[in-house]
Amino acid sequence: MKLYIASLLLLVSFIAHPQQPLYITALDTVFLKSEKLPEKSMGQSIVKLDRKQLANYTPQLSECLQFETPVYIKENGYGMVASPSFRGTTAQQTAVVWNGVNINSPFLGQVDFNLINTQNSSEILIRPGGGSSQFGSGAIGGVVYLNNNLSYNKPNEHELSTTYGSFNTINLNTNHSIYRQNSNIQIGLSYLNSDNDYKYPNTGQRNLNGAYRNLNASINAAYRFKKNSIKIYSNWLSGERHLSVLEPTQNFTKYTDGHFRLLTEYKNTNASHESVIKLALLNEKYRFYPNLDNRDGSSNGNALNYIVKYNYKYFFNKALLNLGATYNLTIATGTNYDNLKRNSANFNTYFKHSLVDNFSYQATLRGEWSNDYNSPLLFSLGTHWQLKKWYAVKTSISKNFRIPTFNDLYWPGVENPDLKPESSLQFEVANTFYMKDLTFNITGYFNSIKDLIRWLPASGSLWQPVNTNSVYAYGVEAIGNYKFNFGTHSFNLKGLYAYTVSENRASGYQLIYVPYHKATLGLNYLYKNISVVINNLYHGKVFTQTDNNPNTTLSAYTLTHLNLYYQFGNTLKWQLGAGIKNVFNSAYQNMAYRPMPGRHFNISLTLNIKMT
């Protein structure tokens, strides 16, 4: 916390520094934005979630992903640990990237999506498909990109919101953006607290020991002068979560989480080239309590991650060449970690070229080395062919990998230092149709994964990580969006469907917690100051055992969420909202023995102020 306060003081003093005029280059827009994810994703599809979409859901990212993307989310109970599955892959095969830096846990190799606060992000981008050649280990199934967009010379913006809902759930949030001609500072603070004692539909039994609370703060700043700019990003989290139980005779346990992230970026831009240096410090810590109010027997972990990144971009004709290097030092200590260290470095090259007006391609190569593993040479090749004004074809092929985590290698009693890294080769092709008010995208993909790391029974009650059979994952994703007006009434209809097969090649069985079918359908309606948002979700059945035992299958379910908003005021813009979640009181689980809540409610009040 002291480090965070010191960072805040540093940022404030930094913004107060006298400002100088901006040097503006005359580069093509496409290449100016090359640092952004969409411009680095040729051949792959992106789902963009802006702040307006995110506001329709809880501040935890998991719920929004369920209703807005093809991603499957598995929750260990409502508000508990949430993990994603992209295209039939595991949570460890999903890379989470914060402003260009991979933040996957060195302990577990994944990120808890119920600890990702959406209220402190400008936008969140979802890219299914491989990305190891750009983002390193873990980006086999897909990438979640958390963006904080810093800009200049705009009206100051201030937002305050409060939400109260069922289960004594309270969410308080404030965001402030202060702009000057050559500087910008953003401050965000969010608090979420819930008793989370919902009743299970059909039984009336309450969720026991399910309370949670999170406090999240972020400070971001930018300053530009002549040909240069400096940006600083920071995020701090303190959370406590009781781990829900099924019977009152079970031990009541809890888990505390915390992280601090600090990233500094320096950029120098000229007419034909650009240099970017990033320095990052990531700190992650946790503590598990086997009894709520007793530290005896508790276990903990603490990881520090130091990152140095350099990228050089050269622009010529209709092409972009990027050369990059990254050094990463990770140190882990704690109850089960004896000062573990991992040094890694990578070198990558990225080339993007517009061959003709309607055809572009990009190619990436990456080599990575560490003190315990060396990755194979990774590559990706993507193309974009605009055949007609209304029709485009995209293709992508990539080789990806994931190295074992500290828990895989060193967990006492079941450690397996002989584990091999996972590797995959995947291909996808997408067809995109553009019409006046309609966009439609359909993507087919195939992914071959080797040496999949799984935790399997070893002896007694112990489980051990081992490299198991290879997996074939393939399927189809279709996403559509249609906007139209009827007089003063505005409508936005959106939907998606995902068919996913993720098959163990040796047994022929579908992997657990991977539904064959998922579909969503949403409607946004606006009339003057009134808006209505309806979101529907269908999840097909999932298997919970590796032999696909039909007796332990989780049934398919359908959910409907409804939100109503009324806006009023001029200078002070207010929005009053009310929401009903699980409108039809469906009884469902997306993880075995973890019932989710039935119908529940919330009300909200938001104030937005723009000042010149």
| Percent of the chain with pLDDT strictly greater than 70 | 93
Task: Give the pLDDT confidence of 7-58 residue by residue, as tens digits.
Answer: 333 333 333 333 333 222 222 323 333 346 777 788 898 999 998 899 999 8
How do strand 94-98 and strand 142-147 relate by DSSP bridges? parallel
CB-based contact 603:578 (threshold 8 Å): yes
Question: Can you give the residue range of the structural domain that contains 241?
Answer: 2-611
Number of domains in the chain: 1
312-347, pLDDT tens digit by residue?
Answer: 999 988 999 999 999 999 999 998 888 899 999 999
Rounded distance between C-alpha atoms, residue 232 and residue 266, angstroms: 9
Give the CA angle between residues 127, 519, 388 to the nearest 5°.
55
At 343-388, the pLDDT tens digits run 999 999 999 999 999 999 999 999 999 888 877 899 999 999 999 9
Whether the pLDDT of residue 206 is over 70: the answer is yes
Three-state SS string over 319-339 comes to EEEEEEEEEEEEEEEECCEEE
Which pLDDT score, from 0 to 100, does residue 31 have? Answer: 32
Q: Residues 126-141: pLDDT tens digits?
A: 999 988 888 888 889 9
Residue 351 in contact with residue 362, Cβ under 8 Å? Answer: yes
Alpha helix locations (H) across 539-607? none
Do residues 524 and 491 make contact, with C-beta atoms less than 8 angstroms apart?
yes
H-helix segments, 481-535: none
Phi, psi of 349 (to 5 degrees): -135, 140
Residue 197 CB burial class (10 angstroms; 0-12, 13-18, ≥19):
middle
**Tokens (6 digits) for 24:** 């503006």
Q: What does the alpha-carbon distance between residue 366 and residue 102 come to, in Å, rounded to a whole number?
A: 15
Ranges of H-type helices in 341-441: 406-410
Element spanning 2, H or E: helix 2-15
The rounded distance, in Å, linking the Cα atoms of 516 and 514 is: 7
CA dihedral (317, 319, 325, 326) in degrees, to 10, reads 130
Rounded percentage of the chain residues whose pLDDT exceeds 90: 74
Region 71-94: what's the mean pLDDT? Answer: 92
Q: In this predicted structure, what is the pLDDT of residue 204?
A: 82
In this prediction the pTM is: 0.90
Digit-coded pLDDT (tens) for 174-193 = 999 999 999 999 999 999 99
CATH no. for residue 562? 2.40.170.20
